Structure 1
Amino acid sequence: MPAPPNAHAEDRGRCQERPEFIPASLQVIEEVRPKYACAKACGVAAAEKPAAPIEKGLPGPGLLAQVAVSKYGDHLPLNRIESIFQRHGVELSRKTMCDWMAACAELVSPVWERMKEVVLTSKAVQTDDTPVPVLDRERTRTRTGRIWTYVGDRNRPYIVYDYTGNHSREGPEVFLKGYNGYLQADAYRGYDAMFKNRKQYFDGGRLLGVFEAILF
């Protein structure tokens, strides 16, 4: 039915909102660096190359962030991320992305070191570990590594992860050396040896049982 001639815009129909998904897109950005030559043959000058996250690397920061969040935030293995990029018409091998993530780990290592320093100034630290399968080219099947988690108190609300290739006490010994405070942990026997010489590792710190309350 046509609207009356004197009808206002808001009277001509109802607005309906419909959620829609617009897929992400990948772009190739060309960086042009002008080069100039002196007319009197005194030399050639060119603009400096823009800074890149990975030296001599092609990926931009947005692409690196996408791969990192997909792998570590969304827990997608690189082979699935590879398939997702293929649906976008982009061939990006998992080996290449693995090299990128190793380079990104080096880039953020100063942030990790600083977070560790702050966590170890906490009055109390909570810790636990979880097993993770690790590929090993020298073996026909995976081996078991460990991810150790260290949580600061309410005034230092950081969570720091540390990887070790096994479940020995050496991992927490190295990470916690010099810590002066309370440690809340489970009954893992590796902590027992550490507290035989509390002065060396914790400067008089105290190990709390898993069921013992901590007031932060």
Structure 2
Amino acid sequence: MFRLQKQRQFGASSEKFPSGQLTLFGEETSHSSTLENTTVQGTSKAYNQKKKKRKVRESLNNELPVTVVHHSLPLKEQACSDCGHSMHVMKKEIRREIKIIPARAEIVQHERDVFSCRTCEKENTHTPIVRASMPEAVIPKSMASPSAIAYVVTQRYMYATPLHRLEAQFRQLGVNLSRQTMSNWLVLSTEELLRPLYSAMHQFILSLPVLHADESTQQVLYEEGKQPSSKSYIWLYRTGRIGPPCAIYVYSSTRSATNPKLFLENFKGTLHTDGYSGYEGLENVSLSGCWAHLRRYFDKAVKAAPKNKKEAPTLSELALMKIGEIYKIERKITSQSFAKRRKVRRKESLPLAEAFFAWLQSIQPIVTPKSQLGKAIKYGINQKEKLLRPFLDGILDIDNNRAERSIRPFVLGRKNSLFSITPKGAQSTAILYSIVESAKENKLNVLAYLVHLYETLPNIDKNNVNELAKLFPWSKKLPEQCYLSKN
């Protein structure tokens, strides 16, 4: 426990295994050093034979507007200092700079003409009144505009900026906008506009054959029947290799197994999980395990053990090397077709995985059950069936890293904002993270996409699924400004 705590406090958080120090099959050190020297010499020869090319600057987008500022000599100074004749431009020296234009706030005043008939006003009892068309407001009787709400959402849920810092930013722009007002904007616009789109995205991912799931804690201060210090949860469900990238976050006050049962009620397929028992018992759902979580157990065992002074690897280090052999195969086939992946996995990966579990069962009797290594072995043996499932199919991943990458932005935002005030606010947070993260995964300009949503949703039938489908982050019907410009 002391070594683990020391590692957490002072050590690197990386779980990467030190390559080149230990070998799985026990080759002699002299052989590996000879090979290393040969590689270095060959590399140096190639370097001397071919000059190193200068890297092209990639920080500037070709589609960015360019303003040319021309600098030249006054006409009087263009005469030669020696002979007095006029000089010509021999060449141009060019220096490029990035100019940042800060955000600014302005007021947009909507004025609508209302028409009536003067003749009918004098002669008839009924006077027809006709109003000019005008787009609906995002929030009725509010000064919130699509761009203002989109900016707050982007800053809060994409860049993890707390609302009190946004309040200070707006003050610098000459706008006194309180954090309470911004919070009301987020909740009201989410409930009235984004929830139907969120529900449609939820139904869409249930039609896919493979999903990933994960969950993380969330603190809600004022929740009925619970203490402010108690834990609530944000659940994540996202697509895998099949279908467009889509991440759905769901708020729940508990970590009960009823939560995935409700969300996945109509799902029929395979669910990638981290081994949490709450996903057990789902109807028509098969579970696929996570080799990254299993590897993490053995990595913790390596860090908890005394420093290995022997040349031979310890059992924990040997386990990491065996898992590394499986990941080497995965890296080779990651971009290949599902059929090819399935064939290679059955031929190469599956025998390695089965041999690995046979080895775990053979060493379990000689390892202390409550040690870190003992816990790792127990986790692996208990999860054996789920951990072997990916090697029977090419469309599955061998780990749940997709879900972990998608839950990370929420965890970062939680570190900065700490908690939600009410369950309603936590539900809005889940919906907004779903929209923002799905937009990021589909290579959209998040701010432009949100502006498009807030301009469009008030003016369409939100019960029409076909209309909502046009607004999905992966929809081909989105305007061009919603996409990130390509270099």
Question: TM bucket by the smaller chain?
Answer: 0.7 to 0.9
Could you tell me which amino acid in structure 2 is paired with residue 206 of structure 1?
S
Give the aligned partner of residue 286 of structure 2: 206
**1:33 aligned onto 2:112:** yes
**1:75 aligned onto 2:148:** no
Q: Does the residue aligned with 2:155 lie in a helix, a strand or coil? A: helix
Query: What RMSD over aligned residues (CA atoms) do the two structures have, in Å?
Result: 2.4
Say which of 179, 190, 211 aligns to 1:105.
Answer: 190
1:15 to partner: Cα distance: 3.4
Say which of 186, 189, 196 aligns to 2:277.
Answer: 189
Q: Distance in 2 between matches of 1:173 and 1:27?
A: 48
Q: Aligned ranges for residues 38-53 of structure 1 at < 5 Å? A: 38-40=117-119, 41=121, 43=127, 45-53=130-138
Q: Distance in 1 between matches of 2:168 and 2:223?
A: 24
1:104 to partner: Cα distance: 2.4
Say which of 394, 413, 431 aligns to 1:215.
Answer: 394
Deviations 1:36-92 (A, max 9, x none): 443332535443553122233221101110001111111111111111111111111
**1:135 aligned onto 2:216:** no
Q: In the superposition, relative to structure 1, how do residues 153 and 141 fare at CA in structure 2: closer, same or farther (>3 Å)?
A: closer
- 1:178/1:202 contact within 8 Å kept: no
**1:124 aligned onto 2:204:** no
- 1:127/1:184 contact within 8 Å kept: yes
Give the aligned partner of residue 198 of structure 1: none
Say which of 177, 197, 200 aligns to 2:265.
Answer: 177
Q: Distance in 1 between matches of 2:214 and 2:181?
A: 32
Q: Does the residue aligned with 1:50 lie in a helix, a strand or coil? A: coil
Q: Does the residue aligned with 1:202 lie in a helix, a strand or coil? A: coil
Q: Distance in 2 between matches of 1:90 and 1:146?
A: 35
- 1:34/1:46 contact within 8 Å kept: yes
Q: In the superposition, relative to structure 1, how do residues 30 and 179 fare at CA in structure 2: closer, same or farther (>3 Å)?
A: same
Q: Distance in 2 between matches of 1:149 and 1:37?
A: 54
Q: Distance in 2 between matches of 1:140 and 1:58?
A: 36
Q: Distance in 2 between matches of 1:53 and 1:187?
A: 42
Could you tell me which amino acid in structure 1 is paired with residue 218 of structure 2?
V
Q: In the superposition, relative to structure 1, how do residues 50 and 206 fare at CA in structure 2: closer, same or farther (>3 Å)?
A: closer
Deviates more, 1:41-50 or 1:180-189: 41-50
Q: In the superposition, relative to structure 1, how do residues 89 and 143 fare at CA in structure 2: closer, same or farther (>3 Å)?
A: farther
- 2:222/2:228 contact within 8 Å kept: yes
List gaps (5 residues or longer) in structure 1: 196-200
Q: Distance in 2 between matches of 1:91 and 1:63?
A: 13
- 2:211/2:237 contact within 8 Å kept: yes
Identity %: 27
Q: Distance in 2 between matches of 1:66 and 1:15?
A: 35
Q: Distance in 2 between matches of 1:95 and 1:148?
A: 26
Could you tell me which amino acid in structure 1 is paired with residue 158 of structure 2?
G
List gaps (5 residues or longer) in structure 2: 1-72, 80-85, 292-386, 396-487
Q: Does the residue aligned with 1:183 lie in a helix, a strand or coil? A: strand
Q: Does the residue aligned with 1:134 lie in a helix, a strand or coil? A: coil
Q: Distance in 2 between matches of 1:154 and 1:65?
A: 30
TM-score for both structures, normalised by structure 2 = 0.39
Tell me which protein shows more helix as a share of its residues. 2
- 1:35/1:47 contact within 8 Å kept: yes
**1:65 aligned onto 2:150:** yes
Say which of 95, 103, 107 aligns to 1:24.
Answer: 103
Deviations 1:113-167 (A, max 9, x none): 2221221122221100011222327788444221111121323221111111221
Give the aligned partner of residue 51 of structure 2: none
Give the aligned partner of residue 413 of structure 2: none
Q: Distance in 1 between matches of 2:212 and 2:103?
A: 39
Q: In the superposition, relative to structure 1, how do residues 38 and 122 fare at CA in structure 2: closer, same or farther (>3 Å)?
A: closer
Aligned residues: 206
Tell me which protein shows more strand as a share of its residues. 1
Give the aligned partner of residue 33 of structure 2: none
Q: In the superposition, relative to structure 1, how do residues 74 and 48 fare at CA in structure 2: closer, same or farther (>3 Å)?
A: same
The structure number with the bigger radius of gyration is 2
Give the aligned partner of residue 240 of structure 2: 153
Q: Does the residue aligned with 1:59 lie in a helix, a strand or coil? A: coil
Say which of 89, 92, 96 aligns to 2:181.
Answer: 96
